[in-house]
């Protein structure tokens, strides 16, 4: 079964680009969701394995989505044009926009095994790089 990736991105073209990239890696794109409300609906209706989450969404910061992803045991990667210091404290990996496509591919490949854990899906230490060390090719 192909990993299902929830894409939460309010910029239409970037959301479509992400969906295409996810598909090119043999994964199934869920979304893209353009708002937190739409993301919460897709999270509940589609049960993704992991997610790409923009921090600044059209209806506010992605904090509610972050909480729901944690509650559902769904690992995710922040995608943000904001300063990573503006993100809430946590150990989620972050990829800054504009991002390098190869760095995003690497992070998606790292999240896929983490998503395959037990139903409560705890992310094992080291499976997803810590925020300060998210793989980047820059």
Average pLDDT over residues 14-20: 97
Domain borders along the chain are 4-133
pLDDT of residue 115: 65
* Cα 114 from Cα 60, distance rounded (Å): 28
Higher pLDDT among residues 131 and 94, named by residue: 94
Contacts of 75 (CB under 8 A, 6+ apart): 50, 51, 69, 92, 111, 114, 115, 121, 123, 128
Does the pLDDT of residue 138 top 70, yes or no? no
Does the pLDDT of residue 31 top 70, yes or no? yes
Average pLDDT over residues 111-122: 59
pLDDT of residue 70: 95
Does the pLDDT of residue 14 top 50, yes or no? yes
Q: Provide the residue count of the chain.
A: 138
**Domain 4-133 class in CATH:** alpha beta
Nearest to 103 by CA among 12, 21, 37: 21
Answer for the pair 95, 104: CB distance below 8 angstroms, yes or no.
yes
Tell the residue number behind the tokens 């989450």, with chain if given: 53
For 71, counting Cβ atoms within 10 Å of its Cβ (0-12 exposed, 13-18 middle, 19+ buried), the class is exposed
Higher pLDDT among residues 104 and 117, named by residue: 104
Does the pLDDT of residue 130 top 50, yes or no? no
pLDDT of residue 126: 36
Q: What are phi and psi of 78, to 5 degrees?
A: -70, 135
Average pLDDT over residues 9-22: 96
Report pTM: 0.82
């Amino acid at each position: 079964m192909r990993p299902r990736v929830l894409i939460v991105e309010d910029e239409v073209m970037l959301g479509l680009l992400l969906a295409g990239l996810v598909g090119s890696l043999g994964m199934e794109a869920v979304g893209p969701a353009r708002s937190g409300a739409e993301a919460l609906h897709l999270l509940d209706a589609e049960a993704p394995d992991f997610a790409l989450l923009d921090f600044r969404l059209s209806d506010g910061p992605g904090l509610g989505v972050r909480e729901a992803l944690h509650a559902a045991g769904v690992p995710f990667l922040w995608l943000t044009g904001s300063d990573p210091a503006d993100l809430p404290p946590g150990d989620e990996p972050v990829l800054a926009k504009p991002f390098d496509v190869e760095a995003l591919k690497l992070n998606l490949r790292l999240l896929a095994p983490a998503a395959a854990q037990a139903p409560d899906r705890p992310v094992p230490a080291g499976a997803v790089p810590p925020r300060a060390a998210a793989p980047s090719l820059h």
